[in-house]
Amino acid sequence: MRPFQLLLLLLTALLLATGACSKKTVSFNSKPDSGLAGGVVRDSLTTARDTTNAPSLETNRVVLTKEQERAAKEKQKAAQRAPKKKKNVFLGERIKKGFTKSGPKGRNQIIEVFYYLRTFQQPNDFAPARYYFDARKRKIFKTTDELDPATAKVLHGPYKKLQGGKVIETGYFALGTRHLRWEKFNKDNVLLSKNHYEMGFPRDAQVSYYANDKKRLKEVIPYTQGKIDGDYVSFTEHGKREWEGQFENGKKVGEWTKYWGFRNTKDRRHYVYQYGESGYEPEVQEPVLLKEYNRNGVLVYEKDKLDKRDAVTDRPGSKK
């Protein structure tokens, strides 16, 4: 027997002996992979291309610090939390809501709903009238004097006046002055009047100045629908108040005040006169002197109460 044939027989016998010692099940769909150690077989139906983009079942655990965990929780809470309401702001100023009641309870009770500045600001010196709420007296006041920061809440924002639950007046305030559209209604919701204001001045007012630079205000004559109606005010050449009062239906009504007009002091009253109560009644030709103050601002006369006046007989408007 040739040496080659003898070697082949020995190898065949060795393979038969190995198969007899160990059982091995071979799938018809599988084939040996020469590239794997230990003769491990791989399913031929699964290729490397099929598993390249498959997601891994093992997660990469990210370790967060306590601060990062706290920040993440806060962010999640903020996203779930309802958005905060915007704070009350009118014309760029923060405001607070208020209300006041007056008169008897029931149908005739008057309720005023308004807003005022959270931070005090003095109204314009040239404004015909200034409005504020006194928290102690629970009442809205109208004045031409400087306001006291300790007690005055400067009106600023929407305003509504109701009687018996029905709106009888609406409007807006801006830094203590009437602003934009103001309307009055009767109890049957019928519009009685409508006026427009610009920071206290009637929109249709006739405004005059002492110079062309429009810095030294001289006089403000209010007009509504062609008639003089509203707050009137005049100033001296030095910017001090001279006269103030109110017109209704083209007639002077209520109290009219004449000032001393001193240049380097606050506005000091001189005379206070009383005209008729309504502009729809015959106009009062000669007003009644209610009060008189001396040059130092001391009250020297009050009708039916006080009379410490000097011997002055040429008071304008006084009865003789």
Threshold 0.75, pTM exceeds: no
Question: Is the model's pLDDT at 182 over the cut of 70?
Answer: yes
Question: Is the model's pLDDT at 165 over the cut of 80?
Answer: yes
CA 130, distance to chain mean position in Å, is 20
C-alpha to C-alpha distance for 306 and 293, rounded to whole angstroms? 11
How is 263-316 classified by DSSP, letter by letter? Answer: SSS---EEEEEE-BS-TTSPPPSSPEEEEEE-TTS-EEEETTTEE---S----T
122-137: pLDDT as tens digits: 998 888 899 999 999 9
C-alpha to C-alpha distance for 20 and 9, rounded to whole angstroms? 17
Quick check: 123 and 147 in contact, CB under 8 A?
A: yes
pLDDT greater at residue 113 or residue 12: 113
Tokens of 260: 């001393």
192-222: pLDDT as tens digits: 888 899 999 888 899 999 987 778 899 999 9
Rg (CA), the chain: 46
Average pLDDT, the chain: 82
Question: Is the model's pLDDT at 59 over the cut of 60?
Answer: no
> What 3-state class would DSSP assign to 153?
strand
In the beta sheet, which residues pair with residue 114?
98
Q: Please, how many CA atoms are within 13 Å of residue 133, restricted to the half-sphere of its CB?
A: 25
Q: What share of the chain in percent tops pLDDT 70?
A: 75
pLDDT greater at residue 230 or residue 225: 230
